[in-house]
Protein backbone atom coordinates (compact mmCIF):
# COMPACT_ATOMS: atom_id res chain seq x y z
CA UNK A 1 0.00 0.00 0.00
CA UNK A 2 1.33 3.42 -0.92
CA UNK A 3 1.82 5.80 2.00
CA UNK A 4 1.57 9.55 1.60
CA UNK A 5 3.27 12.21 3.66
CA UNK A 6 1.64 15.59 3.12
CA UNK A 7 3.47 18.81 3.96
CA UNK A 8 2.20 22.34 3.62
CA UNK A 9 4.76 24.90 2.44
CA UNK A 10 6.69 27.01 4.93
CA UNK A 11 5.74 30.49 6.02
CA UNK A 12 5.86 33.47 3.63
CA UNK A 13 5.63 37.19 4.34
CA UNK A 14 2.06 37.11 3.02
CA UNK A 15 1.17 34.39 5.55
CA UNK A 16 2.63 36.57 8.25
CA UNK A 17 0.74 39.66 7.11
CA UNK A 18 -2.58 37.82 6.67
CA UNK A 19 -2.68 38.22 2.88
CA UNK A 20 -4.51 35.59 0.87
CA UNK A 21 -2.09 34.00 -1.60
CA UNK A 22 -3.93 31.53 -3.79
CA UNK A 23 -2.15 31.18 -7.12
CA UNK A 24 -1.01 34.81 -7.36
CA UNK A 25 2.24 35.18 -9.32
CA UNK A 26 3.09 38.02 -6.92
CA UNK A 27 2.96 35.75 -3.88
CA UNK A 28 6.43 35.62 -2.30
CA UNK A 29 8.64 32.66 -1.62
CA UNK A 30 9.63 31.48 1.84
CA UNK A 31 10.79 33.97 4.43
CA UNK A 32 13.48 33.13 7.02
CA UNK A 33 10.92 31.45 9.27
CA UNK A 34 9.59 29.42 6.35
CA UNK A 35 13.06 28.21 5.44
CA UNK A 36 13.71 27.23 9.06
CA UNK A 37 10.38 25.38 9.14
CA UNK A 38 11.29 23.43 6.00
CA UNK A 39 14.64 22.43 7.47
CA UNK A 40 12.91 21.41 10.72
CA UNK A 41 10.40 19.19 8.93
CA UNK A 42 13.27 17.67 6.95
CA UNK A 43 14.78 16.65 10.30
CA UNK A 44 11.43 15.37 11.51
CA UNK A 45 11.04 13.13 8.43
CA UNK A 46 14.69 12.06 8.19
CA UNK A 47 13.96 8.41 9.01
CA UNK A 48 11.37 8.03 6.25
CA UNK A 49 12.71 6.45 3.06
CA UNK A 50 10.84 8.35 0.39
CA UNK A 51 10.54 6.87 -3.07
CA UNK A 52 9.38 10.08 -4.74
CA UNK A 53 8.67 13.73 -4.02
CA UNK A 54 5.91 15.72 -5.69
CA UNK A 55 5.29 19.42 -5.27
CA UNK A 56 3.01 22.16 -6.43
CA UNK A 57 4.87 24.32 -8.92
CA UNK A 58 4.14 27.52 -6.97
CA UNK A 59 7.30 29.12 -5.57
CA UNK A 60 6.63 28.68 -1.84
CA UNK A 61 5.85 24.97 -2.20
CA UNK A 62 8.72 24.35 -4.60
CA UNK A 63 11.22 26.00 -2.24
CA UNK A 64 9.92 23.93 0.67
CA UNK A 65 10.21 20.71 -1.35
CA UNK A 66 13.76 21.61 -2.41
CA UNK A 67 14.87 22.15 1.18
CA UNK A 68 13.26 18.91 2.38
CA UNK A 69 14.67 16.93 -0.57
CA UNK A 70 18.21 18.31 -0.35
CA UNK A 71 19.81 15.42 1.60
CA UNK A 72 17.60 12.74 0.00
CA UNK A 73 19.10 12.96 -3.47
CA UNK A 74 15.68 12.67 -5.04
CA UNK A 75 14.43 14.81 -7.87
CA UNK A 76 11.20 16.72 -7.35
CA UNK A 77 8.32 16.27 -9.76
CA UNK A 78 6.41 19.53 -10.13
CA UNK A 79 2.66 18.99 -10.48
CA UNK A 80 0.57 22.10 -11.27
CA UNK A 81 -2.64 20.32 -10.21
CA UNK A 82 -1.33 20.42 -6.62
CA UNK A 83 -1.53 24.23 -6.60
CA UNK A 84 -3.49 26.16 -4.00
CA UNK A 85 -7.09 27.10 -4.65
CA UNK A 86 -7.42 29.98 -7.11
CA UNK A 87 -8.74 32.85 -4.99
CA UNK A 88 -9.53 35.16 -7.88
CA UNK A 89 -10.12 38.77 -6.83
CA UNK A 90 -9.07 38.04 -3.25
CA UNK A 91 -5.47 37.13 -4.09
CA UNK A 92 -3.01 39.58 -2.55
CA UNK A 93 -5.67 41.12 -0.30
CA UNK A 94 -5.55 41.25 3.48
CA UNK A 95 -8.21 39.21 5.26
CA UNK A 96 -9.56 42.46 6.77
CA UNK A 97 -9.88 44.01 3.29
CA UNK A 98 -11.80 40.99 2.00
CA UNK A 99 -14.13 41.14 5.00
CA UNK A 100 -14.79 44.83 4.37
CA UNK A 101 -15.24 44.63 0.58
CA UNK A 102 -16.87 41.20 0.13
CA UNK A 103 -19.04 40.52 3.21
CA UNK A 104 -21.86 38.84 1.27
CA UNK A 105 -19.50 36.56 -0.66
CA UNK A 106 -17.70 35.55 2.53
CA UNK A 107 -20.99 34.82 4.24
CA UNK A 108 -22.10 32.62 1.34
CA UNK A 109 -18.74 30.83 1.44
CA UNK A 110 -19.37 30.05 5.11
CA UNK A 111 -22.90 28.75 4.36
CA UNK A 112 -21.93 26.59 1.36
CA UNK A 113 -18.21 25.77 1.60
CA UNK A 114 -18.00 23.07 -1.12
CA UNK A 115 -19.43 25.15 -3.94
CA UNK A 116 -18.81 28.82 -3.19
CA UNK A 117 -15.81 30.69 -4.51
CA UNK A 118 -14.11 34.07 -4.52
CA UNK A 119 -15.06 36.22 -7.52
CA UNK A 120 -13.12 34.76 -10.42
CA UNK A 121 -11.76 31.90 -8.30
CA UNK A 122 -12.32 28.19 -7.62
CA UNK A 123 -14.56 26.36 -5.19
CA UNK A 124 -13.27 23.54 -2.95
CA UNK A 125 -15.18 21.06 -5.12
CA UNK A 126 -13.29 22.30 -8.18
CA UNK A 127 -10.00 22.05 -6.26
CA UNK A 128 -10.92 18.47 -5.33
CA UNK A 129 -11.52 17.61 -8.98
CA UNK A 130 -7.97 18.47 -10.02
CA UNK A 131 -6.11 17.57 -6.82
CA UNK A 132 -7.64 14.10 -6.40
CA UNK A 133 -7.00 13.22 -10.03
CA UNK A 134 -3.36 14.17 -9.56
CA UNK A 135 -2.99 12.16 -6.33
CA UNK A 136 -4.76 9.14 -7.84
CA UNK A 137 -2.23 9.18 -10.70
CA UNK A 138 0.70 9.54 -8.29
CA UNK A 139 -0.50 6.57 -6.23
CA UNK A 140 -0.99 4.43 -9.35
CA UNK A 141 2.51 5.35 -10.52
CA UNK A 142 4.17 4.33 -7.23
CA UNK A 143 2.88 1.03 -5.90
CA UNK A 144 3.82 0.19 -2.28
CA UNK A 145 5.91 3.32 -1.89
CA UNK A 146 6.33 6.29 0.47
CA UNK A 147 5.56 9.53 -1.31
CA UNK A 148 6.10 13.08 -0.08
CA UNK A 149 3.65 15.68 -1.40
CA UNK A 150 4.35 19.36 -0.75
CA UNK A 151 1.35 21.55 -1.41
CA UNK A 152 -0.97 24.16 0.11
CA UNK A 153 -3.66 24.55 2.75
CA UNK A 154 -6.87 23.89 0.82
CA UNK A 155 -5.31 21.39 -1.57
CA UNK A 156 -4.00 19.35 1.35
CA UNK A 157 -7.28 19.71 3.27
CA UNK A 158 -9.10 18.18 0.29
CA UNK A 159 -6.72 15.20 0.39
CA UNK A 160 -7.16 14.85 4.15
CA UNK A 161 -10.96 14.92 3.84
CA UNK A 162 -10.91 12.28 1.10
CA UNK A 163 -8.49 9.97 2.91
CA UNK A 164 -10.52 10.08 6.13
CA UNK A 165 -14.01 10.01 4.64
CA UNK A 166 -14.72 13.51 5.94
CA UNK A 167 -17.29 15.90 4.58
CA UNK A 168 -16.01 18.39 2.05
CA UNK A 169 -18.20 20.99 3.70
CA UNK A 170 -15.73 20.83 6.61
CA UNK A 171 -12.66 21.32 4.39
CA UNK A 172 -11.66 24.65 5.97
CA UNK A 173 -11.38 22.93 9.36
CA UNK A 174 -8.67 20.56 8.09
CA UNK A 175 -6.05 22.97 6.78
CA UNK A 176 -2.69 21.94 8.26
CA UNK A 177 -0.27 24.47 9.73
CA UNK A 178 2.80 25.47 7.73
CA UNK A 179 5.13 22.43 7.40
CA UNK A 180 2.98 20.29 9.70
CA UNK A 181 3.35 16.76 8.25
CA UNK A 182 0.24 14.63 7.83
CA UNK A 183 0.69 10.87 7.37
CA UNK A 184 -1.85 9.01 5.27
CA UNK A 185 -1.33 5.27 5.52
CA UNK A 186 -4.06 4.21 3.12
CA UNK A 187 -5.15 6.09 0.01
CA UNK A 188 -8.20 4.73 -1.77
CA UNK A 189 -8.29 6.22 -5.27
CA UNK A 190 -11.69 7.59 -6.12
CA UNK A 191 -13.29 9.99 -8.51
CA UNK A 192 -13.76 13.47 -7.02
CA UNK A 193 -17.50 13.03 -7.49
CA UNK A 194 -17.48 10.45 -4.69
CA UNK A 195 -16.39 13.02 -2.12
CA UNK A 196 -18.95 13.46 0.61
CA UNK A 197 -20.46 16.94 0.59
4-13, 17-26, 82-91, 135-144: which range is least confident on average? 135-144
pLDDT digit string, tens, across residues 105-125: 999 999 999 999 999 999 999
Class of domain 3-191: alpha beta
- What CA–CA distance (Å, rounded) separates 149 from 15? 20
The answer to whether the CB of 133 falls within 8 A of the CB of 162 is no
- What CA–CA distance (Å, rounded) separates 89 from 86? 9
Is the pLDDT at 170 greater than 70? The verdict is yes
Q: What is the dihedral of CA 130, 91, 67, 62, to 10 degrees?
A: 40
Averaged confidence pLDDT in the chain: 94
Radius of gyration of the chain (CA): 16
- What CA–CA distance (Å, rounded) separates 132 from 42? 25
84 flagged as catalytic = yes
Which of 84, 91, 105, 122 is an active site residue?
A: 84
Which of 3, 9, 79, 174 is an active site residue?
A: 9
Is the pLDDT at 197 greater than 50? The verdict is no
Is the pLDDT at 168 greater than 70? The verdict is yes
92 φ/ψ sector (left φ>0, alpha ψ -120 to 50, else beta): left
Q: What is the mean pLDDT of residues 20-32?
A: 97
pLDDT score for 195: 52
174 flagged as catalytic = no
Which residue from 51, 37, 36, 63 is spatially nearest to 3, judged by alpha carbons? 51
Amino acid sequence: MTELWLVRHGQTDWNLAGKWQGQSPQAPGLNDTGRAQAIAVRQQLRFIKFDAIYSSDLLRARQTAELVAEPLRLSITLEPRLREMNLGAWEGMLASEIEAQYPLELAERTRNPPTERAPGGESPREVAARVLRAVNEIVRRHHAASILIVSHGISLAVMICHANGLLLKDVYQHIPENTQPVHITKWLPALPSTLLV
